[in-house]
Chain A
Amino acid sequence: GENVEQHPSTLSVQEGDSAVIKCTYSDSASNYFPWYKQELGKGPQLIIDIRSNVGEKKDQRIAVTLNKTAKHFSLHITETQPEDSAVYFCAASRRGGSEKLVFGKGTKLTVNP
C-alpha cells in the first residue's frame, strides 16, 4: 500500500525566514496531495493541495511543488510568522473511488519571534 515519508519531524525558524517541509510517496497511482495544519486541540485544517496534473501551486505565502517522477512533493512557507507555528501534515490519495488519505508523520514547525 501507499507509504508517505515526511521530513523533518521538527523545524525551528526565525520569524520572517522561509520553511520547507518535504514528503515522498511510494504509490505512483497517487494523484492528490493535500497539506494540513493542526494546532493544539484542533482538527487538521487544509492549507493547500495539489493534483498530479499540476507541478506547482501558490497561495499567498504558501506554495506546494510536486515532482511526479521522483514521487516527491514539498511545502514552502515564506515570511513565516509566529502564528504559523503548528504541526503540518502531508498526505496522498490514490485513484480508486475512495477518499482515503495516507498521511506523513507530521512536522512540528516553531517560528521564533
Chain B
Amino acid sequence: KAGVTQTPRYLIKTRGQQVTLSCSPISGHRSVSWYQQTPGQGLQFLFEYFSETQRNKGNFPGRFSGRQFSNSRSEMNVSTLELGDSALYLCASSPGGYPDTQYFGPGTRLTVL
C-alpha cells in the first residue's frame, strides 16, 4: 500500500497570505489528523477529520481550518499567515476505529517570511 502523501513538500509564503496544504491518506483509512511541529513547541495536534466531519480540534486560532473530502483526502488552510506559523505540518491517517495506529506523511515545510 502507498503511504500517506502530502503536497507540497516545501512552501514559502509572506505574512498576511494564506496557504492550503493537502494530504492523501493510506487507501482505506477514514481518519486524517493534522499536527504542527516546531522546535519550541514540539508536535501539537491541530484537528482530526473522520468521514468528512471534524471529530476533534486542538488549541489553535480560527485561522487554522481544515476539511475532508468523500475520498478521505484532506486539506488544511491557514489564513493571514504570521511568522510564528513557520513549521513542519504533518498529516497522519488511520483506519478510524479508535484507538488506531496513526501513520504519518513526510510533512509540508512552511516558511513564512
Contact with A along B52-63 (1 / 0, CB 8 A): 000110100000
The CA of A105 and the CA of B41, in the complex, are separated in Å by 8
CB interface residues, A 4-53, toward B, < 8 Å: 31-32, 34, 36, 41-46, 49, 51
In this assembly, does A102 line the interface, its C-beta being within 8 Å of a C-beta of chain B?
A: yes
Assuming the contacts A43-B107, A49-B101, asked whether A100 and B90 have C-beta atoms less than 8 A apart, the reply is: no
Q: Which residue of A lies closest to B91 (CB)?
A: A43
A97→B90 contact, CB < 8 A: no
**If the complex has contacts A98-B55, A99-B96, are A34 and B102 also in contact, measured as CB distance less than 8 A?**
yes
Complex Cα distance, B104 from A96, in Å, reads: 21
B45 at the A interface (CB under 8 A): yes
Chain B residues packing against A (C-beta within 8 Å): 4, 31, 33, 35, 42-45, 48, 50, 55-56, 58, 90, 92, 94, 96, 98-107
Contacts of B92 in A (CB 8 A): 99, 101
Which range holds the interface residue count of chain A? 20 to 34
Please list 11 pairs of residues, one from A and one from B, whose beta carbons are closer than 8 Å in the complex, sorted by A's number. Answer: A34-B102, A41-B106, A42-B106, A46-B102, A46-B103, A98-B56, A99-B48, A99-B55, A100-B33, A101-B92, A104-B42
